Amino acid sequence: MQYLVLFLLFGLFAAAVFLTVRRFVMMKRLFLRQIIGKKIMGAAFFSTSAVNELADFILRQKCSRRKELLDLAVKGNFKILAQKLDNGCLRDKLCLMMSGKINRSAAGDALYYLMQCGFFWEYHRHEAARAALYKTKAFKLKGECRALQSLNTAKLALFEGDLHTASVEAAAALNFFQKHRFLFEEASVYFLQGTIYRVAGIFDTAELMLRSALKLFRALSADRYEAETLGTLGLLMSAQDRLSEAFDYMLRAEEIYNRIKDSENGYFILSQKAMILLRQNKIREAAALARRAAAGHKTSGGLALAAEVLARTELAGEKWRSAARKAADAADKYFSEHNFAAGFEALYLAAEANFRQQDFNEAETILRGIIRKVPYHQSCFHIADAYTLLGLILLQTGKIGRARTIFNQALKHELSDNRSAGIAVDYANLAAAEKQCGNISAARKNLEAALAYAKDADNELYERIRAVLD
């Protein structure tokens, strides 16, 4: 009995020692992961799994080699560190994070394409990302690879305007990242979901998701991503007419970009601040910021955004010809980047400027070009907008029968996506067409339908339609 008690006591002591040592090793591993993560966060592409694998690899080495690798990691010399690794897959992950280059034979085909896809998204190389993602369809993926595939599929779906697929795939990726404590990827999914809900107009949920992303990015010292999230929160506030809050978020994002010397993204913030000033009817100040952005940008995407903002300032100042020219220039630059949604928006802006200066032929040519091209390019541009403006041109030029046909085309597209405000506008336009034809009862019926949809969409629109109906 005495020996049994001693045996049990020894077992308890051994277990306590084991748990203490295990806890110490785990804390050491966690601490090293945090150091490596913060040192490498500004790289071209980030992977939590690569950081975890590197920390574990370093801790498994003998004392002298461990000290050498630790010293390189703490100093942030990851390119040199990668050259000293004998683990080919891990070495390639580090090389990809630092420079975007990777040796496919060591990383494995599926992981190679997925990490390459993530890298392309970071630099807005949409067509290259799409091609890399398409190649992963041939693989049966599990775990991290399946989650990365879902995340990249969600990004592609959002880019193409398929919000349902984007939401489903983002949720699937989030399950894995939360379960395995991949905090950076979890934050990235929250940011993506926030953007999805912002585009969908579900603003409360969008704000919740973006604030969750902001909290994690801030905890990870991911400055660039924190700034991007602040900028997106600014866009969200602007969409809700919370303009002073929007401007404050933009200023906070700009401060971070200035601190980390990311001038290109800083100029994007200037353009977005200009858009807010434009919403406040501060046209001169908005134009000055947009010109500063245009002078500083180095990328086609940045120059396109600055040109678009300048076009909107010219439109607000009733300088129709200049607005049309700048909008067309913005569209060319967007299309060169394969950003079709923004390109079509800029072309629509050019058509609107021509419509305002009563150059109906040019506006009609641009709109018919948009309608012809949109079906061949995946984007979130809504073709109903082009149909609506084209219908107004036909109505303005006395082609009432054709205008009515075009308004019905716009209404069909609006109804298919349940866009209440757009449906209300199309019914109101149909009412105007019927009234010009002398069909007063049909006009009133369409106005009543417009009023019913406007009630759920926009108070100002509702009051305008009700005033006409009364």
427 lies in a domain? Answer: yes
- Domain residue limits at 462: 383-470
Q: What is the pLDDT of residue 5?
A: 55
Identify residue 443 by its one-letter amino acid code: A
Which of 98-107, 209-218, 442-451 has the weakest average pLDDT? 98-107
432 assigned to some structural domain: yes
Beta strand segments in 174-244, E: none
Residue 462 pLDDT = 63
For position 28, what pLDDT does the model report?
54
Nearest CA to 74 out of 85, 58, 90 is that of 58
Angle between helices 203-219 and 183-200 (to 10 degrees): 160
| pLDDT value of position 319 | 93
pLDDT of residue 144: 84
CA angle 187, 193, 199 (to 5 degrees): 140
Q: Tell me which of 330 and 47 has the higher pLDDT.
A: 330
Count Cα atoms within 13 angstroms, Cβ side, for 174.
Answer: 18
Report d(CA 47, CA 41) in Å as an integer. 9
Domain count within the chain: 1
Give the CATH number of the domain where residue 406 resides.
1.25.40.10
Q: Give me 82's structure tokens.
A: 């990668």
What's the rounded Cα separation, in Å, for the pair 370 and 342? Answer: 12
Q: Is residue 9 scored above 60 in pLDDT?
A: no
Is 325 domain-assigned? no
Alpha-carbon distance of 115 to 43, in angstroms, equals: 13
* pLDDT of 280 above 80: yes
User: In whole angstroms, how large is the CA radius of gyration of the chain?
Assistant: 28
* Cβ within 8 Å of residue 307, ≥6 positions away: 294, 326, 327, 329, 330, 333, 346
pLDDT tier for residue 87 given thresholds of 50, 70 and 90: low
Higher-pLDDT residue of 464, 106: 464
Contact predicate 274/290, CB 8 Å: yes
Q: Does any domain span residue 22? A: no
Instruction: Tell me how far apart the alpha carbons of residues 308 and 290 are, in angstroms, rounded to a whole number.
Output: 9
The per-residue pLDDT for 376 is 83
pLDDT in tens, 237-265: 998 889 999 999 999 999 999 998 989 89
Closest C-alpha among 224, 288, 234 to residue 257 = 224
> In this predicted structure, what is the pLDDT of residue 433?
86
pLDDT at 39 over 70: no
Q: Which residue has the higher pLDDT, 66 or 261?
A: 261
Please give the share of the chain, as a percent, with pLDDT higher than 90.
Answer: 40
Does residue 323 surpass a pLDDT of 90?
yes
* Domain-located, residue 392: yes
Mean pLDDT of the chain: 83
Token pair recorded at residue 306:
């600055």
Residue 68 lies in a domain: no
Q: HSE (CB half, 13 Å, CA atoms) of 464?
A: 13
Higher confidence at residue 257 or residue 437?
A: 257
Is residue 389 pLDDT above 70, yes or no? yes
Name residue 105's amino acid: S
Only one residue has tokens 């709109």, namely 367
pLDDT at position 50, please?
77
pLDDT grade, residue 14 (50/70/90)? low
pLDDT, position 24: 43
Residue 21: pLDDT band by 50, 70, 90 thresholds? very low
User: Quick one: average pLDDT of 212-220?
Assistant: 92
Residue 428 resides in a domain: yes
Kindly state whether residue 48 falls inside one of the protein's structural domains.
no
Under a CB-based contact definition with an 8 Å cutoff, are residues 344 and 308 in contact?
A: no
Average pLDDT rounded to a whole number, residues 37-50: 68
pLDDT at 25: 46
pLDDT reported for residue 100: 57
